[in-house]
């Protein structure tokens, strides 16, 4: 990350801190959703990429005996995550260079992360996710049936794109769509978004 980008307030700097302070989700409310998603999956090691303060992984910790890991580019979010749950391994990390070996995790997940990545770099990010996943990729995004990705206004002009993330994954990677659906405030999330569970082939 360049010094100029950091000065402008990216996820690594002040912008990421403000996002973390602004967005608070109660992990216990998410438990029924994750129990439903995970109940039929044979998984042990789970990584969340872009975990922020760790509320998703905290919720999963109530769902069973899992070996949980989270990475986020913002050090402040990771500090809060570590304070919230010392049984989960939280580390500062980058979606474009995930510092774990190939096939290390049974499942890798992202929640509202890919929408903030320039579409020209999405395949690189997803390739890294699939590299470290042995079995599954759980993606939760605002999915649109657009032919092309489009940038939409967002705070401080930080990138936010709308597009068909599901199609991008299926068209470019050797995966199978296992399940999909929609969730939102009724299951503890801040707003409605789609979820897509892919299995590596």
Cα 43 to Cα 143: distance, rounded to the nearest angstrom: 26
- Per DSSP, what are the bridge partners of residue 162? 150
Q: Is the pTM of this model over 0.75?
A: yes
Distances (CA, A) of 102 to 3, 36, 45, 133: 31, 27, 13, 7
User: Which CATH number does the domain housing residue 44 bear?
Assistant: 3.40.50.150
Q: Are strands 105-111 and 45-49 parallel, antiparallel or unpaired?
A: parallel
Per-residue pLDDT of 24-68, as tens digits, reads 667 899 999 999 999 999 999 999 999 999 999 999 999 999 999
The residue whose two tokens read 């605002």 is 142
Measured in whole angstroms, the distance separating CA 178 from the mean position of its chain's CA atoms is 18
Which domain, by its residues, includes 53?
Answer: 3-200
Give residue 78's pLDDT: 93
Determine the Cα angle at 52 with ends 37 and 48, to 5°. Answer: 40
Give residue 10's pLDDT: 60
Give residue 4's pLDDT: 36
Identify whether the C-beta of residue 106 lies closer than 8 Å to the C-beta of residue 45: yes
**Positions in the chain short of pLDDT 50:** 1-9, 21
Give residue 117's pLDDT: 92
Domain count, the chain: 1
SS3 85: coil
């Amino acid at each position: 990350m360049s010094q100029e980008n950091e000065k402008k307030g990216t996820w690594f700097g002040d912008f990421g801190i403000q996002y973390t302070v602004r967005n608070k989700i109660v992990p216990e409310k998410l438990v029924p959703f994750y129990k439903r998603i995970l109940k039929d999956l044979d998984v042990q090691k789970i990584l969340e990429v872009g975990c922020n303060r760790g509320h998703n992984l905290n919720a999963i910790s109530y769902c069973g005996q899992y070996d949980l890991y989270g990475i986020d580019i913002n050090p402040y979010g990771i500090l809060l995550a570590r304070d919230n749950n010392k049984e989960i391994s939280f580390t500062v990390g980058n979606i474009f260079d995930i510092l774990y070996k190939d096939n290390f995790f049974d499942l890798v997940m992202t929640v509202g992360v890919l929408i903030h990545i320039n579409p020209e770099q999405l395949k690189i990010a997803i390739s890294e996710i699939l590299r470290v996943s042995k079995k599954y990729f759980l993606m939760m995004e605002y999915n649109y049936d657009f032919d092309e990705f489009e940038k939409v206004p967002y705070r401080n002009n930080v990138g936010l794109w709308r597009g068909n993330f599901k199609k991008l994954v299926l068209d470019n990677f050797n995966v199978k769509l296992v399940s999909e659906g929609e969730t939102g405030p009724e299951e503890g999330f801040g707003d409605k978004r789609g979820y897509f569970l892919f299995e590596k082939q």
